[in-house]
Structure formats: structure tokens, C-alpha cells
Structure 1
Amino acid sequence: MRIIPVLDLKGGQVVRAEGGERARYRPIGTPLSSDAAPVSVARGLRTLLPFPAFYIADLDAIEKGAPDEEALESLQRMPDAPELWLDAGFAEEASLAAALARPGLRPVLGSESQDDTALIARFRDHPGLILSLDFFADGFRGPEALLSDIALWPSTVIVMTLAQVGSGAGPDFARLRKIKARAGGRAVIAAGGVRNEEDLRRLAECGIAGALMATALHGGALTPAQLARLSAL
């Protein structure tokens, strides 16, 4: 069970996600850091466990703004630099190819950012590529073929349930089981609503390879000892 902390970036700061309603996101307040600077929050999270990877949602880039290159570079300069799983609204071949070539970076192709399946068809066999299947309150967002045609899926697939992000409602186990049953040997990663050790153990029993987490880590729902045990599952 791989636990990947989430850093949602907006305006150069880490923000607290609430149900996918990005206009409501505000700079995070957390006992793990004295401020909302990306490196400060990442360092605080690493006091719980020396996480080797972080998921970065560059919300400004996803909303077609400028990518936060300064934040990425500062995170990559950290001691024992973490691998960064980056969703920056990739929708063009040149930017995705550049991200795939960048050391220490795994670009996340979000379904919500795609107009068609051209990019995923071009790069699906690249071992560094991650696909995020994005589900909002009104359902799946993106080309329907990205959800229905599993031949398009790369080796790692995130099931992102935005409506449950930050809600404490628990993962969408039914959806995760269905997608895992279709995914074959691909690594399926849960995102949205993961609350505690029990949720993570249930995900492991479903064959889920990992989970993206933020709220439960900042809220103290998982101790360092629990995280160490879960990472060994």
C-alpha cells in the first residue's frame, strides 16, 4: 500500500482541497508546518514518514494558467528529492513529452484536461505516464473512451473522486473495485475521501496499490507508526 501525500498548489502556496470546488480552496493550515509554502509543507509531511513521492496538483496550470515552476524546482532540490507525480493540465504533446523526459517527474494526464484520446494513445506505453480518471459530483469528466477503452490505460491509473476530496466521507470502494477488476495488472491508485487505517487496509484487500492523501495526514488520523505498518502491506 503506497501512500502518496498530496500538495495542491495555487498561487504559489499549498491549499486545502474541498470537494473539487477549486474556487473555495484556501492556503492550508496544518500542525505540520508554520506556513503554506510547498517545501515547508512537504518537510512537515516527511516528519510522519520519509515519503519518497508526492502528488502535485498545479491548480493554476490545470485552469490554463502559468505552471508553478518555482515550486517544482524547490521540491526537487529537497534532500532525498521526492519523485513528483504532477498534474499540470497536460493537453499538448510538447509539454507532456518534456515532462516525461524530466528526471524525478511523472506527469499525470488528467482526463478532465483532455479533448480527445490523442495524447494518451501516443504516450500510453511510456512507463512514467500516469492516467487520472477524474470523477466530479456530476460524473466522469473527459472523453468517454478514456474510461471505456482500457487498452488506452498506461501502467498506473488514478481513480480521482473529486467530490470526496477533503470530505472525510471515505473512498468510493464500489467504483474502485469495478475499475480494478478491469485494469488487469495495472497499478490502481485511490484518491478522494481516504480517512484512516481501516480505509487503507480495505483498499489493500481490494487490490488497490496506493492512495493519494492529504486531510487525514494533516489532521493526525494516521500516526507515524500506523503509516510505517501500512506502507509495508
Structure 2
Amino acid sequence: MIKKIPVLDLKDGQAVSGKSGLRDTYQPLQTVFAPSANPVEIAQGLKLNGADELYIADLDLIESNGHNINDIKMVNTIIPVILDAGVKNAEGFSFFLDYAFKLIVPTETLESLDELYEIFEKYPKERIIISVDVKDNELFCKNLDLTLKEFKEVLVDIGASQIILLDISSVGTNNGYNKELLDEFKDLKDCLIIGGGLNKESIDELERLGIKKVLVGTSLHSGEISII
């Protein structure tokens, strides 16, 4: 059975929701798992409903505009957290390891390929997840001058075993997965975690295609799909 990993985006101390990565427009999250947008309450509700991992993106950290690290540390005592804290380099990776079960290295914020290689040299692979962030079918990154194909070659070279394919343009849309993007990475299928706009139909299709893990936010919090 395909594993559905719940998603929480945090901003100013609460869980928020929005579409297509337009973070300035995000609103407090309304979820079937808690009566408020408090991340600790939501984590407790998710655990009661069968969640055993939780993806958290700290939007304040990613945008260098504060942090929600205390809430994240508390949530990690309830459900193991896969954290996107906007890691830029090996030093940042080392710092955030104390706050989460696994840490994401996102192409959006990664400073250089040298830093990526250093992270893989210093830390256990099982705690590293690379997020291939994509906007309009192109690699989304502030500091890397690479195409999707070129970055995929890097992933193969370093032996990445956990890779999120995140179509930022589709986040919150409920429109399904990006078939073109998945096709580009189909030979790494066993390593992939698919995210961005997934609904029940697309999750069922991904399961038939042999994908083992997906990130689910909007469709899960609305009650359209269940965790298990």
C-alpha cells in the first residue's frame, strides 16, 4: 500500500494553507484533524488517525523571516518530523538535525553542489531527503545553475535514496501529479516521494505505477482522503 505522509506548512506559529507556492496569500489551515491551526494539536490528531511521519515546511525559516522551531521540536516528540527548514549548507543541516527525524535538503535554498556532497559525506543517508523543487517544469533554485536533467545526474552520483519530487506550481490545487516530471525521474521510482496537488484519483494511479510514498496536504486536511 502506498504511504501517505501528511504535510504541514508553518508560518507565524500556526499551520497555513495556500496554492502554488504563493506564500504571501496563505491562510490559517482548516483541517479535520484539529479545531484550530495549532501545529501541536494537529499533530496529535494526525497521530490518532494513524500518521507515523509528518512533513513540515517552516516557511518563516525558508524565507529567512523568523522560525517555528520550538513548535517543530514539540511536534517531533509526537510524530517523527521530516523537516524542510530551508537548509542552505552542511552547517545548517547539522544544526537542524536536533529538531527532526529526517532533514530535507531543498534545491530552492541549497547554496551549492559542494555543500550537498559535504552533507552526504558527513551524515547518515537515512536522515537525508533531497527535495527536487520544480516550478513550471524547471528546477526551482536560487543558487544552482542546473537543468532538471543535470540535477538528476547529481542525485545518481551521490546515491540519494530518498527524493521528493515537489511540483510547487501544483501545491494546494488538488489537480493531481505532474506526469511529465514523474516520467523524467521514472528510473529512480523506488526512491521517490511525490508531492504537489495530489487527490484521491492521482494517489491511486501513483500506487498502480509503483510509487511507494506521497506527500498529502489539501486533500488530506479536507477529509477527501484518509491517512491509512
Question: Retained in 2: the 8 A contact 1:8–1:15?
Answer: yes
Aligned to 2:12: 11
Aligned to 2:223: 220
Aligned to 1:195: 199
Aligned to 1:140: 139
- Equivalent position to 2:103, from 77, 90, 107: 107
For 2:67 and 2:160, locate their aligned partners in 1 and report how far apart those are by CA, in whole Å: 24
For 1:51 and 1:174, locate their aligned partners in 2 and report how far apart those are by CA, in whole Å: 29
**Which amino acid is 2:192 matched to?**
V
Aligned to 2:180: 174
TM-score scaled to structure 2, two decimals?
A: 0.87
Displacement over 6 Å in runs of 4+: none
User: What is the percentage of aligned positions where both structures have the same residue?
Assistant: 26
C-alpha spacing 1:85/1:132, structure 2 compared with 1 (3 Å): same
**Which amino acid is 2:44 matched to?**
R
C-alpha spacing 1:35/1:74, structure 2 compared with 1 (3 Å): same
Quote how far apart the aligned CAs of 1:84 are.
Answer: 0.7
Aligned to 1:86: 83
For 1:37 and 1:170, locate their aligned partners in 2 and report how far apart those are by CA, in whole Å: 27
Aligned to 1:117: 113
Quote how far apart the aligned CAs of 1:103 are.
Answer: 7.3
Cα deviations across residues 156-204 of structure 1 (Å, max 9, x unaligned)? Answer: 00000011111011111231132131x27x52000001101x3222112
Quote how far apart the aligned CAs of 1:50 are.
Answer: 1.5
Question: Retained in 2: the 8 A contact 1:2–1:210?
Answer: yes
Query: Does 2:207 correspond to 1:204?
Result: yes
Quote how far apart the aligned CAs of 1:92 are.
Answer: 2.5
Unaligned 5+ runs, structure 2: none
Aligned to 1:231: none
Question: Retained in 1: the 8 A contact 2:76–2:101?
Answer: no
Quote how far apart the aligned CAs of 1:8 are.
Answer: 0.2
TM-score scaled to structure 1, two decimals?
A: 0.85
| Matched positions, count | 217
Quote how far apart the aligned CAs of 1:153 are.
Answer: 5.1
Question: Retained in 1: the 8 A contact 2:62–2:85?
Answer: yes
Aligned to 2:56: 56
